Structure 1
């Protein structure tokens, strides 16, 4: 299968998730016509366009069962919990939004800024990693990337995922979904980073440990 065919297939997957997570609940709760929902739909497409670009440029991603988190029992349990949490977060946020008598402009602006930041960070990270953007797996041509945004944080892609969810919940002004996002993402990201960094230390040894000392995990200058 050509890279273009793989990219088209990847785009259809994005559309499927977009329909399940945002469009379907928006239709059911009668808010599909709201500009906030339309903005989120477009934001979702932009956010995951980096995945589509990566597949088109460098070929297919590794199989899901090759991801180290799927091979770790605790990681697999956390992944299952995160999947359930994601469904609750997206649907509950739309439900909360549909019940609002009026929206607060300040929170919508803050949410939009967070969402745009998430998109920018995600695009920068993917284009810096290029063909190495993939599951948690070591490839034959694997090399350590410490340039660009990776000179500031070691896991900017995970940061972009967290920011995207926070921005989504903030725009829709759903406190319940926001709390669930923070809790579930903290557990998921911590587990995923631990597994990934253990693998990278085994591969690159002192080089990666030196890189760890120079950078933060996910939040610049903080953590």
Structure 2
């Protein structure tokens, strides 16, 4: 897909995601009456504008683990629920906690998670695919952020999900973030299995000195 096409697709997806949140919150007036949610919107648009310039893609490359594609459907479903449900429970004041301070904390965490999500994509460029696949010219990157954790972009996804939930003070949103873990770990397992077949002992040695998601813990 061309860059203009990616920009258009990202814009449409972002507007749809934000639209679900606005609908859940009870409309434009209710949503934008909260300063943190205004800031959340700005962060979302900045991240969405930057993302298409990262070089990431949806290419199946030269070899793909197609058995893992089910994860994308699960991510999509959880994503739709995460767009709407936290805002909806916020409007009803059900399973919510804290006040504006929690919202602002959520915005900061969402921004940090988004940055961490995109940073590795810029590092890998065309080698970063939304599919579990080996790309042309694929090489093992083991320096920079990848010198500490093997899946920083997925950590960013989790951090961003938590931040989004906190911006709406939503316990349901945090539960959805937790539900993201099983498919995320399944995807990590599939990626690491594919990389082992491609890079062999070099990848085993890399795994031995790094963590999957959380430095020193996992």
- TM-score, normalising length: structure 1: 0.83
In proportion to residue count, which structure has more helix?
Answer: 1
Cα distance in 1, alignment partners of residues 88 and 63 from structure 2: 33
Judged with a 3 Å threshold, the aligned counterparts in structure 2 of structure 1 residues 66 and 112 are, in CA distance, closer, same or farther, namely: farther
Equivalence for 2:197? 202
Q: CA deviation at 1:82?
A: 2.6
Query: What runs of 5+ residues in structure 2 fail to find an aligned partner?
Result: none
Q: CA deviation at 1:99?
A: 2.9
Q: What SS does the corresponding residue of 1:219 show, helix, strand or coil?
A: coil
Q: CA deviation at 1:20?
A: 1.6
Q: Where do residues 1-223 of structure 1 align in structure 2 (5 Å cutoff)?
A: 6-27=2-23, 29-30=26-27, 31-34=30-33, 35-55=35-55, 61-63=57-59, 68=64, 71-72=66-67, 75-100=68-93, 104-134=99-129, 135-183=131-179, 185-223=180-218
RMSD: 2.5
**Post-superposition CA distance 1:107-135 (Å, at most 9, x none):** 12321231122123123212221332223
Judged with a 3 Å threshold, the aligned counterparts in structure 2 of structure 1 residues 52 and 107 are, in CA distance, closer, same or farther, namely: same
**Post-superposition CA distance 1:77-117 (Å, at most 9, x none):** 44323322211121011112223499613312321231122
Cα distance in 2, alignment partners of residues 11 and 208 from structure 1: 34
Judged with a 3 Å threshold, the aligned counterparts in structure 2 of structure 1 residues 38 and 13 are, in CA distance, closer, same or farther, namely: farther
Query: Which range moved further: 188-197 or 81-90?
Result: 81-90
Q: What SS does the corresponding residue of 2:134 show, helix, strand or coil?
A: coil
Cα distance in 2, alignment partners of residues 160 and 168 from structure 1: 12
> Contact 2:78 / 2:176 at 8 angstroms: preserved in 1?
yes
Judged with a 3 Å threshold, the aligned counterparts in structure 2 of structure 1 residues 168 and 127 are, in CA distance, closer, same or farther, namely: same
Query: What runs of 5+ residues in structure 1 fail to find an aligned partner?
Result: none
Q: How many residues align?
A: 211
Q: What SS does the corresponding residue of 2:22 show, helix, strand or coil?
A: helix
> Contact 2:61 / 2:135 at 8 angstroms: preserved in 1?
no
Judged with a 3 Å threshold, the aligned counterparts in structure 2 of structure 1 residues 49 and 205 are, in CA distance, closer, same or farther, namely: farther
> Contact 1:92 / 1:177 at 8 angstroms: preserved in 2?
yes
Judged with a 3 Å threshold, the aligned counterparts in structure 2 of structure 1 residues 66 and 181 are, in CA distance, closer, same or farther, namely: farther
Judged with a 3 Å threshold, the aligned counterparts in structure 2 of structure 1 residues 136 and 123 are, in CA distance, closer, same or farther, namely: same
